[in-house]
Structure 1
Amino acid sequence: MKVAVLGLGIMGQGVAGVLLREGFEVAVWNRSSGKADALAAEGATVASTPGEAVDGAEVVLSILFDADSVLSVLGEAAGSVAGGAVWLQASTIGLDGTARVAHLAESQGVGLVDAMMLGTKKPAETGALVMLVSGDASLVEKARPVLDAMGSKTVVAGDRVGNATALKLAANAWVASVTAATAQSLALAGALGLDASLFLDAIEGGASDTPYAHVKGAAMLAREYPTSFALDGLRKDVGLIAEAAHSSGVDATVLEALRTVYARASSNGFGGDDIAAVYEGFRPASS
Structure 2
Amino acid sequence: MTGPNPESTGQDPPVVAVLGIGTMGAAMARNIAAAGLGLRVWNRNRAPAEELADVGAVVCDSPAEACRGADIVLTLLANEKVVAEVMDQACDGLDERTVWVQSCTVSPDGTRRLANQAARLGVTYVDAPLLGTKEPAVAGTLGILAATDDVAVRDRIRPMVDAVGSRTVWLDEVGQASGLKLAYNAWVLATVEGIAESLTLAQALGIDPHKVIDAIDGSALNSQYVQTKGPKMIDDDLDTPSFPLEAAAKDATLITATARAAGLHLGIAEVVRERLGLAVDQGYGRADVAATYRQPRRSAS
Query: Smaller-chain TM-score range?
Result: over 0.9
Q: Aligned match of 2:120 in 75, 92, 107?
A: 107
CA deviations over 1:182-219 (Å, ceiling 9, x no partner): 11111111121111110011111111212101111111
Larger displacement relative to structure 2 (141-150 or 246-255): 246-255
Matched, 1:255 2:277: no
Q: Aligned match of 2:249 in 235, 240, 251?
A: 235
Q: Contact 1:262/1:281 (CA < 8 Å) preserved in 2?
A: no
Q: Contact 1:191/1:284 (CA < 8 Å) preserved in 2?
A: no
Q: Which residue type is aligned with residue 231 of structure 1?
A: L
d(CA) in 1 for partners of 2:217, 2:114:
43
Matched, 1:165 2:178: yes
d(CA) in 2 for partners of 1:9, 1:282:
31
Q: Secondary structure at the match of 2:212?
A: helix
| TM-score, length basis structure 2 | 0.91
In the other structure, the counterpart of 2:3 is none
Q: Contact 2:149/2:171 (CA < 8 Å) preserved in 1?
A: no
Q: Contact 2:17/2:74 (CA < 8 Å) preserved in 1?
A: yes
CA deviations over 1:40-60 (Å, ceiling 9, x no partner): 122211110000001111111
d(CA) in 1 for partners of 2:243, 2:39:
24
Q: Secondary structure at the match of 2:90?
A: helix
d(CA) in 2 for partners of 1:107, 1:223:
48
In the other structure, the counterpart of 1:214 is 227
Q: Secondary structure at the match of 1:269?
A: coil
d(CA) in 2 for partners of 1:147, 1:156:
11
In the other structure, the counterpart of 1:195 is 208
In the other structure, the counterpart of 2:41 is 28
| TM-score, length basis structure 1 | 0.96
Aligned-pair RMSD on alpha carbons? 1.5
- Give the 4+ runs in structure 1 shifted more than 3 A: 282-285
Q: Secondary structure at the match of 1:84?
A: coil
Q: Contact 1:113/1:136 (CA < 8 Å) preserved in 2?
A: no
**Number of residue pairs aligned between Structure 1 and Structure 2:** 285
Deviation at 1:284, TM superposition (A): 4.6
Deviation at 1:165, TM superposition (A): 0.3
d(CA) in 2 for partners of 1:152, 1:282:
38
Q: Secondary structure at the match of 2:118?
A: helix
Q: Contact 1:57/1:82 (CA < 8 Å) preserved in 2?
A: no
Q: Aligned match of 2:290 in 247, 264, 276?
A: 276
d(CA) in 2 for partners of 1:210, 1:203:
8
In the other structure, the counterpart of 1:244 is 258
- Structure 2 residue runs without a partner (length 5+): 1-13
Q: Which residue type is aligned with residue 8 of structure 1?
A: I
- Structure 1 residue runs without a partner (length 5+): none
Larger displacement relative to structure 2 (40-49 or 57-66): 40-49
Q: Secondary structure at the match of 2:128?
A: strand
